[in-house]
A and B are shown apart, each in its own frame.
Chain A
Amino acid sequence: MAITRRQFIWRSLGALGAATLGFERFGLVQALAQSRDYKALVCIFLFGGNDAGNMIIPYDDYADYAAVRQSAGLAIPQSNLLPIDVPRLGSRFALHPSLTGLQQLWLQGKLATVCNVGPLIEPTSRDTYINGTAHLPLNLFSHSDQQNQWQTSVANGTGSSGWGGRTADRMANQNSSALPVILSVAGTPIFVSGQSELPLALAPAPTVPNATLKLDGFPNPPDNDARYIALQNLLEEDHNVTLVRGASRVTMNGFDAADTLRQVPDPAVPPFPLNPRTSLGNQLEQVAKLISLRESLGMNRQLFFCSLGGFDTHFNQVNNGSPTTGTQANLLTQIDGAMKAFYDATVALGVASQVVTFTLSDFSRTFVPNGNLGTDHAWGSHHFVMGGSVIGGDFYGVAGSNGTVFPTLAPNGPDDTDQGSSARGRWIPTTSVDQYGATLASWFGVSSSDLPAVFPNIGTFNQSTLSFL
């Protein structure tokens, strides 16, 4: 059968001879799956550049924050904040008031924050930034470039694969499945493209997994239908045209996966109590369903990709006179509801300690607002890591000039790229995307000797990984 032959050809490019073939071997597949450990990474990309400055706020040192953000109407009143203890800094910080669910997870030790992280080529200080000796990421403050750098971990060029994909490349041999390691419910950005692994794009909930790639117009199963056979065979004919080959590769990947997914039942999963439904909630609900199918699909390692857009809050980040509401508050409310529901689902599925969820975003935003109740493009940001294996309830990262992992919130101060009286507060990251990603990839199973292949610049940083996992 052409399909299995194709699967073998494509997947054997990267996976080391792992059994990949058809559903008829499901019994064996299940046995394999149960005999091994299971781990999943779940990426949530916040497109547009999330303003971490209003997501993680100093509580004891609230005055530092208010001094910069209050007069432009952006400061969230201290009385509205959700305080959290941060042992590493010995002082209290706070979450945005929309993040009530994440505050609970923080208190339970299931949520951590990685501070002031961003694309770097090498450790970079304000001095080396200003005097021009630092090698800087290309086109700083540009959406497309910084998105690319967050996804590829290559800040000094344009990579052709993502660190999610390269991580998956090294884990493909852990699975006994016809499906790839990476399943995306938010398209196929470069993050999920490996050197050998191709991502699979699926629809979010409420479409059930076995219908998300349904090919209409054929009997079920379609294998003996002459038109179906021709359809499949035509994908093998690229006519020596590069773009045709690329299109066929994507389509074959989909048809092969459809074949596999057709065999699995609609999973009974724990309730995903989100009302109303949200974009991110639907994505994470689908991820929970797919995780619940891990054994019948033969999966031991899975990497999922979700995303949410709208974070480019140049205006109306907060509503006029009501800084706890506005565009960012709505987005953070969505994140909070979806992430908390997802964590609860992993608990109900018994895999909470085997699933780590993390956020990425283009950049953080200027600490000094603009005049439209908004903020502009900056650099270093704070990110959440969630899961039963996360050593939560604390800040992580590399300490900067003030001796802590949290930047000094002073425009024209020791962490700002900008100088002078109109400095905007664009923090120079102290922790690189490489270190953040390498920590996640190491937990997932990438060996330390493989890290440089996944994160090419990791060697320029003193420590390869952080201690949140």
Chain B
Amino acid sequence: MEPPRLSSSLRVFVILALTVVGPPSYLEAQSFKPDTVRFLEQSTFGPTYDLIAHTEQVGFDAFLAEQAAAPMRDYPDLPFWPQTRPTTCTNVAPSTCQRDNYSLYLLQKHFFSNALYGQDQLRQRVAFALSQIIVTSAVDVPLPSWMRGYQQLLYTHAFGNFRQLLYDVTRNPAMGRFLNMVNNRCQTPTPANANVCRNGLKSQPNENYAREVLQLFSIGTFLLNQDGTRQLDSDGNPIPTYDQNTVEQFAKVFTGWVLAPALPAPPEVGGTVPNYRDPMVVHKDSQGREDYHDRGAKTLLNGLQLSVGQPTDQDLNAAIDNIAYHPNVAPFISKQLIQHLVTSNPSPGYVARIAAVFTANQTSSMQLFEVVRAILLDDEARGDAKDPATFPNYGKLREPVQFIANTLRAFNATSDGVLDSLNVGGSAIGSADMGQDVFNAPSVFSFYPPTARVPGESVLGPQFVLFSSLTSIRRANFVNRVIFSTIPAAQPNRPNGTFIDLSAWDSLAANPDDLIDKLDELLMHFTMSDSMWQTIRDAVATIPATNRRQRVRTAIYLILTSSQYQVER
């Protein structure tokens, strides 16, 4: 029988005291504050020993300030190809023209590579969260050159001002295409009224952007208190934020925009291509009149009236102000950012504290940074551990992108970033295979709604939408592949493959207790339950001490596949 486990606090002490033999650098007795590791789980794509040591040295405030100034790695500047692929653009070796210009390959590769190695970790985390709240998808934005500008916009604005973000998103051509604001036009009313509209279809303005900008990107369907809970009427029913008529009014506001003038196509193609680089512009007829815009009066949220005959962009600015400064925005957006960074079930008090920061910084050019800073430094985010007895519903399931990036960053991986769609040895183990195909969500509702619940439980667990019998086994198979083997290079689409470096860990394997304790620190900030520790200890002890690497791999495999690890607390 193996000796029972020491209590957590005692283990920390033992590690501090263990200044014995030879393992390199961080795997020596040095021990970090669990909260430093937690903080980096929330603010990066995964703690690394370098980053833990650095953050411990400078403190959270300085780390956040560094992150605000950290250099960005922009998405690759893709050439704009025609919407219909020329037959000369193929993947017939040595060409990768089709892959590069007609699939998300380069953008996804950049995304994962940047997540693994970029310095601006927090900006990337926030941009990725925003990309799941204010959504476009390759489902309807088929060319990567079109998607590139949108993701770059979120990346650039991730620490910026929400109102500015919403305005720029609204005029972005990828969003214009995705939710059909591009070419949305006023329609001939009955009777025809030349002051309202000058074109002649018997149909109505497109409601798509109008509905989703309200429902998903800003205020949601019910009036909220600042703590994120729903306001109720005298009968105890929730109060709708808007109705169908409001949607139709906004649909009229969002008329009149078209793509900017066409761009030259790549020289080998010739001609011009649609402009998915620049913001959409107002359509004008030959006399310079804004003929696609519905010039009628509109009534927006909270009864705001837009008067007859306003120019297209004036209407748009008024509407964006009307939406962005609605009191619902602060709790609606703040709560979702908390859910993406820290915990699926924030307390109303937590939401209210962040919403207050959101509102107080409404005109700041660093509004979202201040919000994220407050989220990460809040008492509900901080602490060495959240006691299950007091906080049973705390934490969040690691989404596939996080799960993959966290694993690779923890073990010093070398990777080409080809991790989205991945079939190795007949096993599907990429992020897309786990349900999260980056920039290619099934719809504007993204991969999971913020209101989704944990199966069989009454608490929120949005990421569980992507967690099924099928995908949980694929997660285990990903771990199996990278821990026990490698993702080998395979030309042309996996130029380098992905492999981790466990050499530093071998020296710890002589003593399974030390090995598991150090892994507990790095991967679970010392929250592993005693019984979990013992189970892994027993499994590792069945492997001869001479087979150190197998001990290391076994311990890591069992931690990463455990539910206690999958749920980040």
A and B associate in one complex: yes
Which of chain A's residues has its CB closest to B199's CB?
A371
**Contacting pair A254 B208 (CB below 8 A):** no
B561 interface residue (CB < 8 Å to A): yes
**Contacting pair A242 B558 (CB below 8 A):** no
Looking at the assembled complex, report how far the CB atom of B93 sits from the nearest CB atom of chain A, in whole angstroms: 24
A63 interface residue (CB < 8 Å to B): no
Give bound CA distance, A348 to B28, whole Å: 66
B455 interface residue (CB < 8 Å to A): yes
Tell me the chain B residues, 464-487 only, with Cβ under 8 Å from chain A. Answer: 464-465, 467-473, 476-477, 480-481, 484
Looking at the assembled complex, report how far the CB atom of B475 sits from the nearest CB atom of chain A, in whole angstroms: 9
* Residues on B with beta carbons closer than 8 Å to the beta carbon of A140: 244
Looking at the assembled complex, report how far the CB atom of B158 sits from the nearest CB atom of chain A, in whole angstroms: 25
Most-contacted residue by chain A among B190, B473, B563 (CB, 10 A): B563
**A216 in contact with B470 given A230-B539, A370-B206 (CB within 8 Å):** no
14 new A-B contacts at CB < 8 Å, known A216-B476, A217-B480, A244-B567: A160-B458, A188-B465, A188-B468, A240-B388, A242-B454, A244-B564, A247-B464, A248-B563, A250-B472, A254-B472, A309-B442, A309-B443, A376-B207, A421-B190
Tell me the chain B residues, 514-569 only, with Cβ under 8 Å from chain A. Answer: 529, 531-532, 535-536, 538-539, 542, 554, 557-558, 561-564, 566-567, 569
A414 interface residue (CB < 8 Å to B): no
**A314 in contact with B206 given A72-B201, A212-B470 (CB within 8 Å):** yes
| CB<8 Å pairs between A and B, sample of 11 | A142-B215, A203-B470, A229-B539, A230-B538, A234-B532, A234-B562, A239-B388, A243-B457, A247-B464, A254-B473, A371-B205
**A249 in contact with B221 given A143-B445, A372-B183 (CB within 8 Å):** no
Please give the residue numbers on chain A whose beta carbons come within 8 Å of chain B beta carbons, in ascending order: 47-48, 71-72, 138-145, 158, 160, 184, 187-189, 193, 198-203, 212-217, 226-227, 229-231, 233-235, 237-251, 253-255, 257-258, 309-310, 312, 314-315, 366, 368-372, 374, 376-377, 417-418, 421-422, 424
Give bound CA distance, A437 to B247, whole Å: 31
- Chain B: how many interface residues by the 8 Å CB criterion? 84
Query: Which residue of the partner chain, among B180, B392, B473, contacts A213 with CB atoms under 8 Å?
Result: B473
Query: Which residue of the partner chain, among A212, A231, A234, contacts B564 with CB atoms under 8 Å?
Result: A234
Query: Which residue of the partner chain, among B183, B189, B397, contacts A243 with CB atoms under 8 Å?
Result: B397
* Residues on B with beta carbons closer than 8 Å to the beta carbon of A231: 476, 557-558, 561
Looking at the assembled complex, report how far the CB atom of A155 sits from the nearest CB atom of chain B, in whole angstroms: 14
Tell me the chain B residues, 450-508 only, with Cβ under 8 Å from chain A. Answer: 451, 453-459, 461, 464-465, 467-473, 476-477, 480-481, 484
Query: Which residue of the partner chain, among B395, B484, B529, contacts A237 with CB atoms under 8 Å?
Result: B529
**Contacting pair B207 A377 (CB below 8 A):** yes
Most-contacted residue by chain A among B392, B443, B455, B458 (CB, 10 A): B455
Give bound CA distance, A119 to B564, whole Å: 39
Query: Which residue of the partner chain, among B394, B425, B464, B532, contacts A246 with CB atoms under 8 Å?
Result: B464
* Residues on A with beta carbons closer than 8 Å to the beta carbon of B190: 421
**Contacting pair B456 A249 (CB below 8 A):** yes
Query: Which residue of the partner chain, among A141, A198, A227, contacts B539 with CB atoms under 8 Å?
Result: A227
* Residues on A with beta carbons closer than 8 Å to the beta carbon of B388: 239-241
Give bound CA distance, A158 to B207, whole Å: 25
**A230 in contact with B535 given A241-B395, A371-B204 (CB within 8 Å):** yes
**A142 in contact with B211 given A315-B206, A371-B184 (CB within 8 Å):** yes
**Contacting pair A241 B562 (CB below 8 A):** no
Which of chain B's residues has its CB closest to A185's CB?
B470
| Total cross-chain contacts (CB, 8 A) | 238
Most-contacted residue by chain A among B397, B456, B569 (CB, 10 A): B456
**Contacting pair A139 B221 (CB below 8 A):** yes
* Residues on A with beta carbons closer than 8 Å to the beta carbon of B202: 71-72, 368
B240 interface residue (CB < 8 Å to A): yes
B47 interface residue (CB < 8 Å to A): no
* Residues on B with beta carbons closer than 8 Å to the beta carbon of A370: 180, 184, 203-207
**A226 in contact with B539 given A142-B221, A243-B395 (CB within 8 Å):** yes
Tell me the chain B residues, 331-368 only, with Cβ under 8 Å from chain A. Answer: 344
Tell me the chain B residues, 169-228 only, with Cβ under 8 Å from chain A. Answer: 179-180, 183-185, 187, 189-190, 201-208, 211, 215, 221
Query: Which residue of the partner chain, among A216, A241, A255, contacts B392 with CB atoms under 8 Å?
Result: A241
**Contacting pair B443 A48 (CB below 8 A):** yes
**Contacting pair B480 A47 (CB below 8 A):** no
**Contacting pair B456 A71 (CB below 8 A):** no
* Residues on B with beta carbons closer than 8 Å to the beta carbon of A315: 180, 183, 206, 208
Looking at the assembled complex, report how far the CB atom of B566 sits from the nearest CB atom of chain A, in whole angstroms: 5
**A239 in contact with B139 given A142-B211, A215-B473 (CB within 8 Å):** no
Give bound CA distance, A159 to B442, whole Å: 23
**Contacting pair A243 B454 (CB below 8 A):** yes
B389 interface residue (CB < 8 Å to A): yes
**Contacting pair A250 B244 (CB below 8 A):** no
**A47 in contact with B442 given A158-B451, A250-B472, A371-B185 (CB within 8 Å):** yes
Give bound CA distance, A428 to B561, whole Å: 49
Give bound CA distance, A338 to B550, whole Å: 47
**Contacting pair A241 B206 (CB below 8 A):** no
* Residues on A with beta carbons closer than 8 Å to the beta carbon of B567: 241, 243-244, 247
**A144 in contact with B203 given A201-B468, A213-B473, A314-B208 (CB within 8 Å):** no
**A237 in contact with B532 given A139-B221, A201-B471, A372-B184 (CB within 8 Å):** yes
**Contacting pair B396 A243 (CB below 8 A):** yes
Which of chain A's residues has its CB closest to B480's CB?
A217
B264 interface residue (CB < 8 Å to A): no
* Residues on A with beta carbons closer than 8 Å to the beta carbon of B453: 160
B435 interface residue (CB < 8 Å to A): yes
**A254 in contact with B457 given A227-B557, A240-B388 (CB within 8 Å):** no
B305 interface residue (CB < 8 Å to A): no
Give bound CA distance, A245 to B464, whole Å: 12
Give bound CA distance, A217 to B536, whole Å: 17
B393 interface residue (CB < 8 Å to A): yes
Give bound CA distance, A463 to B215, whole Å: 35
Query: Which residue of the partner chain, among B396, B469, B477, contacts A200 with CB atoms under 8 Å?
Result: B469
Give bound CA distance, A315 to B207, whole Å: 11
**Contacting pair A243 B240 (CB below 8 A):** no
B160 interface residue (CB < 8 Å to A): no
**Contacting pair A376 B461 (CB below 8 A):** no
Query: Which residue of the partner chain, among B221, B456, B459, B470, contacts A201 with CB atoms under 8 Å?
Result: B470
Give bound CA distance, A217 to B467, whole Å: 21
* Residues on A with beta carbons closer than 8 Å to the beta carbon of B231: none
Query: Which residue of the partner chain, among B206, B392, B554, contacts A372 with CB atoms under 8 Å?
Result: B206
Most-contacted residue by chain B among A198, A202, A227, A374 (CB, 10 A): A227
Which of chain A's residues has its CB closest to B185's CB?
A371
* Residues on A with beta carbons closer than 8 Å to the beta carbon of B444: 143
* Residues on B with beta carbons closer than 8 Å to the beta carbon of A160: 453, 458
* Residues on A with beta carbons closer than 8 Å to the beta carbon of B203: 71-72, 368-371
**Contacting pair B469 A251 (CB below 8 A):** yes
* Residues on B with beta carbons closer than 8 Å to the beta carbon of A145: 221
Which of chain B's residues has its CB closest to A258's CB?
B473
**Contacting pair B189 A246 (CB below 8 A):** no
Give bound CA distance, A145 to B238, whole Å: 14
**A243 in contact with B536 given A371-B203, A376-B206 (CB within 8 Å):** no
* Residues on A with beta carbons closer than 8 Å to the beta carbon of B457: 242-243, 245-246
**Contacting pair A374 B180 (CB below 8 A):** yes
B30 interface residue (CB < 8 Å to A): no
Looking at the assembled complex, report how far the CB atom of B480 sits from the nearest CB atom of chain A, in whole angstroms: 4
Give bound CA distance, A423 to B238, whole Å: 27
B317 interface residue (CB < 8 Å to A): no
**Contacting pair A187 B564 (CB below 8 A):** no
Give bound CA distance, A216 to B478, whole Å: 9
* Residues on A with beta carbons closer than 8 Å to the beta carbon of B396: 243
* Residues on A with beta carbons closer than 8 Å to the beta carbon of B142: none
**A242 in contact with B393 given A226-B542, A227-B557, A251-B472 (CB within 8 Å):** yes
* Residues on B with beta carbons closer than 8 Å to the beta carbon of A235: 562-563
**Contacting pair B532 A239 (CB below 8 A):** yes
**Contacting pair B469 A257 (CB below 8 A):** yes
* Residues on A with beta carbons closer than 8 Å to the beta carbon of B344: 243
